[in-house]
Amino acid sequence: MTVPHAGGPQLITYIDRLAGDLDGLQSVMRGPLSGAFDGVHLLPYYTPFDGTDAGFDPTDHTQVDPRLGTWQDVSALGSDHTVMSDVIVNHVSSGSAMFQDVIEKGDASRWAPMFLTLSSLFPDGATEQDLARIYRPRPGMPFTAITLGGERRLVWTTFTPDQIDLDLRSDVAWEYLESVIDALTSAGVTMLRLDAVGYTGKERGTSCFMTEAATRYTQRILELAHERGATVLLEIHGHYLQQVEIARSVDYVYDFALPPLVLHALHAQDLRPLEAWFDVRPANAVTVLDTHDGIGIVDVGANDLRPGDPGLLNPEQIDALVESIHDASGGTSRAATGAAASNLDLYQVNCTFYDALGRDDARYLLARLIQIMTPGIPQVYYVGLLAGANDMELLEASGVGRDVNRHHYSADEITAAIGTPVVAAQLDALRLRRTHGAFSGEFTSDFTDTALTMRWNHGDQEVVLEADVAEGTFALLATGRENTLVCDHTTATTPQ
């Protein structure tokens, strides 16, 4: 069976939290979600998938966790869907066999050069200025004191003490990464998402983020992927001009500016910042509204690393946006964000997109339609697809802020969600995006302060979205159907 072109909609999902295992996911993709998605981004399913960072800290990145299935199951999914998987480039688990060997043997371990310590980068010691310059997305310094071979060392841990940073200056680290890429591509994975790659290029005298070394490492991974028939998506949160620049040299980047700009448009009734982004955004983008992480704010703010570069939103607009999200969610996002919850990030609000819009079905559907109409590959997170609300029980149980947007769905919950008008309308729109000929043609858009028109044309085929964010009204129209009206602002609350 021929794999569809990667340009159609993709689902982002944890396997266990939506469908239990890979076999269950096959059933969901070929059953209630049939026809809506060309591809699927499988969030980490390696051994173990349920570590301290929800799979982004595998002890064995080259094996499928047997509780979820096998590489053969991944290949089966790839027979009729484009499969994207994560290559966790920056770090490995402290519980991995490789790092455990370093703990036992220290520098005598074959794997010792693979891991970055303070002295690896600063053999003569680091100055206060050196350390203050390092960029980290969370409070505090990126080091953890660990005993290696009987000697107390400062090991580089950008994210958590359980995630040990790789030293990509070493051959052994590249042997490891190649083994990961080989395992994935051999199983039919054709899109690789590089997680946290911006933090890989630690260099003295820099912020250690998005350095020239990180660019070189990215290009090396790109070459490895292309040799194996795969493409690469970079996961980078940062100033919007960084995304524009990076997009020129890679296959795909995320459009992380879109979610906060859509929220700003709907909360502040102001489309001008979104219009400004459309004037410069890269075409080779993967669009999202929500992901397994929080709603990014840094992506529309001023440049922290290069003062003088303004953001797409000014500080007052960003503050108002964050407060609007907290108000719309009834304060539940505030309880899941910042110092109120662990897994602290300085640049994200932890909230489902549905709650970020106050569970307003019409405005929520409009947000999704804007995403679907925006050029690029639309990816839809499983919680967002099912119009999920903040899971406060899971947050209370785990204490991890991002878990508010990582609900475990039962089969009955999936059935109930798909039966709601707002979810049914999203699925109809995704099926339209996947199959309508207009989306292989030309895109144009027109904005006023509060109204927009987004249009795709290909020959005599056309799809048009017209909306007013002040009135909360919209209509999606398409040629080639018995009724050209696909949906409007009443659809999300009207039974199908």
pLDDT at 139: 81
pLDDT at 2 (0 to 100): 32
For the chain, give the number of residues.
496
State residue 483's pLDDT score.
Answer: 56
Q: What is the pLDDT of residue 298?
A: 87
| Confidence (pTM) | 0.94
- CB atoms near residue 320 (< 10 Å): 15
Report the C-alpha dihedral over residues 382, 385, 389, 391, rounded to 10 degrees: -10
pLDDT value at position 424?
97
* 343 band by pLDDT with thresholds 50, 70 and 90: very low
**Where is pLDDT greater, at 404 or 305?**
404
Active site residue 167: no
The yes-or-no verdict on residue 335 having pLDDT over 50 is yes
Which of 336-345, 387-396, 469-478, 487-496 is the least confident region? 336-345
The pLDDT value given to residue 482: 54
Give per-residue pLDDT as tens, 59-80.
999 999 999 999 999 999 999 9
- pLDDT for 133 equals 94
The answer to whether 476 touches 369, Cβ cutoff 8 Å, is yes
Query: CA-to-CA distance for 392 and 47, rounded, in angstroms?
Result: 27
- Average pLDDT in the 152-175 region? 97
Mean pLDDT calculated for residue range 421-450? 96
Q: What is the three-class DSSP state of 42?
A: strand
| pLDDT per residue as tens digits for the range 98-141 | 999 999 999 999 999 999 999 999 999 999 999 999 998 778 89
Average pLDDT over every residue of 205-222? 95
| pLDDT band (50, 70, 90) for residue 5 | very low
Relative to beta strand 485-488, strand 473-478 is antiparallel
Per-residue pLDDT, 496: 57
DSSP class of 388: P
Our answer to whether residue 235 is catalytic in this structure is yes
> What is the bridge-based pairing of β-strands 82-88 and 10-13?
unpaired
Rounded Cα gap, residues 88 and 192, in angstroms: 10
Q: Is 70 exceeded by the pLDDT of residue 3?
A: no
The single residue of 235, 299, 345, 488 carrying the catalytic annotation is 235
> What does pLDDT average to over the chain?
93
SS3 312: coil
From the candidates 38, 195, 255, 293, give the one annotated as an active-site residue.
195
Q: What is the pLDDT of residue 275?
A: 98
